[in-house]
Structure 1
Amino acid sequence: MSLLPSVGLFTTLCLLYGCATSPITTAQQREAYLQQFIGQTSQSIQANLDLSSIDYQQVQSPALDNQTLTYTVIRPITIPAPMAQNPADIDSGAVPIQITPRAQSYDVNLQCKIIFRLENNITKSVHYSGRTC
């Protein structure tokens, strides 16, 4: 009997579980939210942008120059670290060790930059730097 199919199934289940514990907004929802700021001034964006509504946390003050308004953000996600139990231990009457939920996962902060391109202080487009946006 090959162990490879079992490992593949286990990996797939872990990935699906990881997706279930990720933030709830999709990339399309984040994109749609940020696109609504095109045509607005940098001051309007700074006053109205709510990064937490799209699962981002701002890590520093926005950087503003004549051509761009740049936000450096992180998107925290939790990645599960499943622990397999040995069925022989359960059948033998061994008491399973209780593990706290924190020990079964680890947190990762994915960092990226949101860049609003400006012309005469009016946003013309929004771009991203980093693959985690």
Structure 2
Amino acid sequence: MKFTLILGCCTAFALVTGCTTTPMITTMQRDAYLQQFIGQTSQSIETNLNLSSIGYQQAFSPTRDNQTLTYTVIRPISIPAPIAQNPADLDSGAIPIPITPSAQSYDVNLQCKIVFRLENNIAKSVYYTGRTC
């Protein structure tokens, strides 16, 4: 029974981490993409930044002050809701495999901020706030 529970949890975790609705990019790819805007003006960043290419959606218009250009972004993901297994299968020693139909999932928008630090309207660095970037 312990093995079945562990395997079920591991399978569910694999399904959750593998079922996003946006392109999967690595942290290094995201960082490299955003670093190319360092040295550019805030107007150039606003014109050329394509957040969807790194798996984000812009939630609001960017905000700008003398020191920062800030994008509030969301990363939509879909978390599958596993279907309960037949109890008779559990008694027979079968290993349950969660099956998730496409209509049974939770859609979640993870939100964070991408902040360009500005000096004289030129981006000097970029950083992130929030744990979901």
TM range (shorter): 0.7 to 0.9
Match of 2:19 among 4, 8, 21: 21
Bigger mean CA deviation after superposition, 30-39 or 18-27 = 18-27
1:7 is aligned to 5
Cα distance between partner residues in 2 of 1:26 and 1:129: 17
Q: Secondary structure at the match of 1:8?
A: helix
Cα distance between partner residues in 2 of 1:4 and 1:102: 30
Cα distance between partner residues in 1 of 2:67 and 2:86: 59
Structure 2 stretches lacking a partner, 5+ long: 90-99
Q: How does 1:67-86 map to 2 (within 5 A)?
A: 67-86=67-86
Q: Secondary structure at the match of 2:103?
A: helix
Q: How does 1:1-133 map to 2 (within 5 A)?
A: 3-22=1-20, 23=22, 24-86=24-86, 88=88, 101-103=102-104, 105-133=105-133
Cα distance between partner residues in 2 of 1:28 and 1:14: 26
State the identity as a percent.
64
Specify whether residues 100 and 4 from structure 1 end up closer, same or farther in structure 2 by C-alpha distance, changes over 3 A only: closer
User: Hey, which bits of structure 1, 4+ residues long, moved more than 2 A?
Assistant: none
AA at the equivalent of 2:82: P
Q: Alpha-carbon deviation of 1:87?
A: 5.8
Q: Deviations over 1:25-50 (max 9, x none)?
A: 22221111111111111000000000
Q: Alpha-carbon deviation of 1:5?
A: 2.2
TM-score, normalization by structure 1:
0.84
Cα distance between partner residues in 2 of 1:30 and 1:102: 30
Structure 1 stretches lacking a partner, 5+ long: 90-98
